[in-house]
Amino acid sequence: MKLLRYGPAGQEKPGLLDADGRIRDLSAHVTDIAGATLSPDGLNALRALDPASLPLVEGNPRLGPCVTGTGKFICIGLNYSDHAAETGATVPPEPIIFMKATSAITGPNDVIEIPRGSLKTDWEVELGVIIGKTAKYVSEEDAMDHVAGYCVINDVSERAFQTEHHGQWTKGKSADSFGPTGPWLVTRDEVADPQNLPMWLEVNGHRYQNGSTATMVYGVRFLVSYLSRFMSLQPGDIISTGTPPGVGMGQKPQTYLKAGDVVTLGIEGLGSQRQDVVQG
């Protein structure tokens, strides 16, 4: 299934994408794409519905973040061997973990706001993992039972805030609009191998990132198990699993976003995003 949320910001309704690419309204069956809806039982109940019986949503409504009620937005740094190489960093012996503020989460086609004082706002196409069942001290063998599905994420980053200021990376990752999420949550059963998904990102039509989750150092199964050692993972939590090479910081010369730019990105089978860049 492809689950989504549509409507004005803060007023989104739950929906489902049918086989013809049309939005069907789920409001009569669930209050939102969150919490218990993401559990195995909740997803099975939605699978039992006939999409043709659901109300058709007319027009082309705004898409909101594909999941809500996110308590934690957990990111993994330097998790692609080829991305680490382009930045001159070494692959860490354990995953680098940092947080992105949940207030950064926006819809997949909402604007990116360049923060005031920013000169180095960058892009990162990433595979998002959405938790569907509480995970605490889970084994790698059982880890995938706790995953509801996957989505596209643009881990927008301000490199000066991230690396040139003192402290942790979080302040370079958390500005409003720095977490476009969606367009939809693709349930785990529809993704045969999350470690073999082509992914791409373009700015103004120029392709900068053209990679694959195949070069991830730490895969989804390991990350869910690993993170559950340090914190419980709750339904709606998002894990953003790292980016392939081609970020602006890795260009020669370095290239960063400016007002008027258009960013497009996607992951095979998970949909695509489009963001206009504006000055915040």
Half-sphere exposure of 46 (CA within 13 A, CB side): 30
* Contacts made by residues 145-148, CB under 8 angstroms, sequence distance 24+: 145/40, 146/224, 146/228, 146/233, 147/188, 147/220, 147/224, 148/38, 148/39, 148/43, 148/185, 148/187, 148/188, 148/235
- Whole-number pLDDT of residue 162: 83
Q: If DSSP codes are grouped into helix, strand and coil, which group holds residue 173?
A: coil
- Cis previous bond, 183, omega within 30: yes
pLDDT of the chain along its 280 residues, tens only?
999 999 999 999 999 999 999 999 999 999 999 999 999 999 999 999 999 999 999 999 999 999 999 999 999 998 987 766 777 777 789 999 999 999 999 999 999 999 999 999 999 999 999 999 999 999 999 999 999 999 999 999 999 898 777 777 889 999 999 999 999 999 999 999 999 999 999 999 999 999 999 999 999 999 999 999 999 999 999 999 999 999 999 999 999 999 999 999 999 999 999 999 999 8
Classify domain 73-279 at the CATH topology level.
Fumarylacetoacetate hydrolase; domain 2 (3.90.850)
- Whole-number pLDDT of residue 92: 82
- Whole-number pLDDT of residue 203: 98
Neighbours of 48 (CB within 10 A): 8
The residue ranges of every structural domain in the chain are: 2-53, 73-279
